[in-house]
Structure 1
């Protein structure tokens, strides 16, 4: 038995207002059914909230994917669930830096040679512009986002990602203001950007889709395509 809003998040479907990262994660690993509502007047003293009873049955066999990889992808996609996936990846500098670091690790572990020199010319103006447009027309009605999404005993809860990415972006912006030369990207960074763009625009066609409208199959297809490009999330 859970508070009503939290219970509804567990079985929310794509397009529902309460659909979020918790919904995708819960339904990936378990079959979830709503059993019944429990009104607050059934308790003495009555609480301030309504409740619901849900049944969670773990999937057998367990899905053959890494939870860390799966959840890492969802963290990026659901930082702001109403933004397009293109904006979720390209609109935050720290996301691309993290993917570049992970790609370097993958290459080192698999003896893949990298050309680590600077680019002659590099610009991400189109990506930044797309992210800005996305912020302007996105529906940001996320009043419950992150309130009931914290993993018990997990310091890095569901509601930590937005703050982390925002603070990282602000810190990088302050550094770049005093050192314009650091704005130039290297060849590895541009290679990773090209791979991410290829996954979103070509392999999956989900670049302009929003996370709140994607189902489990969309996220699985995206994770597979990223892994095929050597990009991982754990």
Structure 2
């Protein structure tokens, strides 16, 4: 059997778009692709892309803004070959306190926003007859979480999106996969108390949080030549928290 070349052996850098790449997991993902020599664009609402990335202002709840963002990336780097849909929000509260806006804003950003991104990216990928779409979900989308009905629904929905796209686009050598992080050391988890953090760690077989770089490693692998035959998969990076789901 012939060897599959690694990502590092690519002769040409790829055009990579990471949404929500100014902090946390998204920033680590962008930095990992930059380190590989790829041409990386990052969408942010207020700026702050990592050094070496094209900083594109975009609100993914606005279809016109998404179109403008892709045109900016295409002019600078060429058609998007790797899309990492990472941008997302939370509006946590218990079901009976959850407002219509709490629900609709999270669904529109996390789920519908990802639909807009994937649809626009697929146009260019179909012409290229290759591409990688990677959706960032969450262990919460598989396990559920009290106070996060909206967030869990949006993240579970990404699995259905990815598996449907895997079937639609696979014949054109376009793979679509999901990465489902567990608890990660980011600004979002920094707000937890020490007692809350300790309790969470007791539920994680590895007994610790992930680093953003560990999530990024799964993403860059899915975008590599070595993962060319992986599509429709959900890759957990959760220390074993959600095993079996």
Task: Report the TM-score when normalising by structure 1.
Answer: 0.21
Q: Is the strand fraction higher in 1 or 2?
A: 2
Structure label with greater radius of gyration: 1
Task: Report the TM-score when normalising by structure 2.
Answer: 0.20
